Amino acid sequence: MPGLDEVAIARLARARDAHLLRSLRETARRGGGLVERLGKELISLSCNDYLGLAHDPRVVAAAHQALDDYGAGAGASRLVTGSHPLYARLERLLAELKGTERALVFGSGFLANLGVIPSLVGAGDLVLADRLCHASMIDAARMSRATLDVFDHNDLVHCASLLRRERPRHGRCLIMTETVFSMDGDRAPVEELAGLARAHDAWLLTDDAHGLGVCSSRAAEIQVGTLSKAVGGYGGYVAGSACLIELLIQKAHTLIYTTGLPPATIAAAAVAVEIIRDEPELVRKPLENARVFTAALGRRPAESAIVPVVVGTAERALEASALLEEHGFLVVPIRPPSVPAGTARLRFAFSAEHDPESIARAAALLLSHGYA
């Protein structure tokens, strides 16, 4: 077998040749939708902090206070001594916002999916996933050892036909989708999928990562989400019935065998969720800003805070991103395998902090250079 470095070098060279090499670029996020890269200040149109809550003084103050009161870390798994009293408040707020009996907080959205899905289905069961579901959902379904089948994006007819064909041959059945698709910004027909689930004796799981705080959906029996996007902090959650949560506390490995969140992170999230609950005008802004952008491009109104501008090849996406950066905007190119080959794109994510003039300027740049 070739040496480890030899294998790595060959694989990296292949990725570089295909314009698919990824790298970590140092980026310091400031408040006000701004980031700093290589000493240069840019307007970020790539962050998921849709409401600017990561820098909200009330959120930051709550984190400071918890840090002073309770220290830097949780010290153990939630099942041991890491279930800080602050969790109860955050989970009550999340359940209230999601319209469920209870909620359960995990270390991240990724960990929530990895914990929830294999706790509910296993060998002999069936998972039907929208083709564009997030990697964490697909990885979780594979980990579960259930049969994984994929239906075409937002295609209820295809989903129903898979249910008719595959459902009778399996034990339990879980349908899963995102509420707002992270790379496309469109929304799933959640109510209709919930109807299909009921009709075919299946459960529906949604991942509301990009919905909560912008255009959340509450129609699914099992609602996963994250505290790292509109909530502005870190962590993940699942909201559902009291029995579901009790089961997950017994079963979910990514809850049981990992350390609890730092108290400061929980305190920050609780205040951020209260702001989402109490400030509907703030919650409306990301979508309004996204619609300023789609209007300037002459497109259909945005369905969420995310608007993709598909440019085709990975190379072209890199060029478009570099052009915007020259003009003071940070818009990260999204390339395969995050999106299908030939659909490399700039993924614009609008926040409450952006101003319409800058948004119009970015749109004009894309139009004048033939990217949109």
Ligand X SMILES: *Cc1c(COP(=O)(O)O)cnc(C)c1O
Q: Identify the active-site residue in 84, 98, 210, 354.
A: 210
Q: Identify the active-site residue in 84, 98, 134, 285.
A: 134
Residue whose CB is less far from ligand X, 134 or 354: 134
Smallest gap, in angstroms, from Cβ of residue 2 to ligand X? 34
Q: Segment contacting ligand X (CB under 6 A): 102-110, 211-219, 308-316, 320-328?
A: 102-110
- Which string of x and - marks every residue 186-225 that binds ligand X (by CB under 6 A)? ---------------------x-xx---------------
Smallest gap, in angstroms, from Cβ of residue 255 to ligand X? 14
Amino acid at 341: A
Report the relative pairing of strands 173-178 and 126-130 from DSSP bridges: parallel
Q: What is the Cα–Cα distance from 101 to 116, expressed in whole angstroms? A: 17
Residue whose CB is less far from ligand X, 226 or 294: 226
Q: Which residues of 236-274 are buried (b: 16+ CB within 10 A; e: fewer)?
A: bbbbbeeebbeebeeebebbeebebbbbbbbbbbbbbbb
Residue whose CB is less far from ligand X, 66 or 140: 140
Q: Which of 109, 185, 211, 213 touches ligand X by CB under 6 A? A: 109
Q: Residue 251: which residues within 8 A CB-CB, separation 6 or more?
A: 115, 119
DSSP 8-class letter at 197: H
Residue whose CB is less far from ligand X, 186 or 325: 186
Give the closest residue to 224 by CA, choosing from 142, 144, 136, 160.
Answer: 136
Q: How far is CA 275 from CA 1, 50, 279, 355, in A?
A: 56, 13, 6, 21
Instruction: Determine, following the binding rule CB under 6 A, whether residue 182 of this chain makes contact with ligand X.
Output: yes
Q: What is the Cα–Cα distance from 242 to 103, expressed in whole angstroms? A: 8
Interaction residues for ligand X, span 125-164 (CB under 6 A): 134, 136
Per CB under 6 A, residues contacting ligand X are: 108-110, 134, 136, 178, 182, 207, 209-210, 226, 228, 236
